[in-house]
Structure 1
């Protein structure tokens, strides 16, 4: 076996895509309007005490600078049938929240209806990491949405859902 050492970004994106990940929308209200980003780098269970989750924000993001100083950020772990709203929020132009059903808190966190899980968070730390910033979020509250089914999965540059296989 020989390792490929051609570490160009386009090849790495494809290679990293071999690892499936969940998809979360991180949203808050800014000036009375919803703002948000989508992250397939979202990770739960970073720490239980204190309760921390994390994600990586692209340094080129125009939206993360609007969100990072908010009192609260709502994390919505997207359901398998939410690929369309995920694409819409991730778009660079247009009304990214047109038709989106949101629930907001008094502290500004915004949550997408029909998500699998909601986490009410605040920014704990931000650490530069190459072309991204690794962000730890402190969890202040949650709401499980068990009747929503499976989470949305991002794998091999496409959205997927979990499938249960029978092993007979």
Structure 2
């Protein structure tokens, strides 16, 4: 069975539903700002290049957090673990203390890395491109640390999921 949606009726809602068919990981993007951690959750994260090592995220132009992070010398990207759904919601909140009771550490040049993540990347901004109602941020990876025992949090059809063990 398939579902067809018309983009002429409530186009943003229809397109949001269509995009939700593609599962994504969830990443915390964070840095130290004025002596405290500042960050946000993004699910538009992708690898771009091995040489040079580049990844990309997409941030809404309406974000009030991105302008705080955009001029930082380093940004931490933490691929959230399957048990960090509550933290992801907290990082997406407009009013809550986003790092309350979260474990984190400061990396090189002020990046913030979340404890319990599946992967840490320390990055610098390489370039920023127009992406309609978003900015596409190309980040150069300076260092990485994997935690293979941690399964990543996955967002699919507007819900969080954990990956099952295929083995």
Q: Same fold (TM over 0.5)?
A: yes
| Alpha-carbon separation, structure 2, partners of 1:106 and 1:152 | 25
User: RMSD over aligned Cα, in angstroms?
Assistant: 1.7
Give the secondary structure class of the aligned counterpart of 2:101: coil
Are the counterparts in 1 of residues 27 and 43 from structure 2 also a CA contact under 8 Å?
yes
Correspondence list, 1:27-66, <5 A? 27-44=30-47, 46-66=48-68
Q: 1:124 aligns with which of 94, 108, 126?
A: 126
| Alpha-carbon separation, structure 2, partners of 1:160 and 1:109 | 27
Match of 2:160 in 1: 159
Unaligned segments of structure 2, at least 5 residues:
none
Give the secondary structure class of the aligned counterpart of 2:110: coil
| Alpha-carbon separation, structure 1, partners of 2:5 and 2:83 | 38
| Alpha-carbon separation, structure 2, partners of 1:5 and 1:160 | 27
Q: TM-score of the superposition, structure 1-length normalised?
A: 0.92
Q: TM-score of the superposition, structure 2-length normalised?
A: 0.93
Query: How far apart are residue 163 of structure 1 and its match?
Result: 2.2
Match of 1:76 in 2: 78
Unaligned segments of structure 1, at least 5 residues:
none
Aligned positions, number: 164
Q: What stretches of structure 1 move > 3 A for 4+ residues in a row?
A: 1-5
Query: How far apart are residue 161 of structure 1 and its match?
Result: 1.1
Deviations 1:126-160 (A, max 9, x none): 10111101110000001111122x11000010100
| Alpha-carbon separation, structure 2, partners of 1:165 and 1:89 | 29
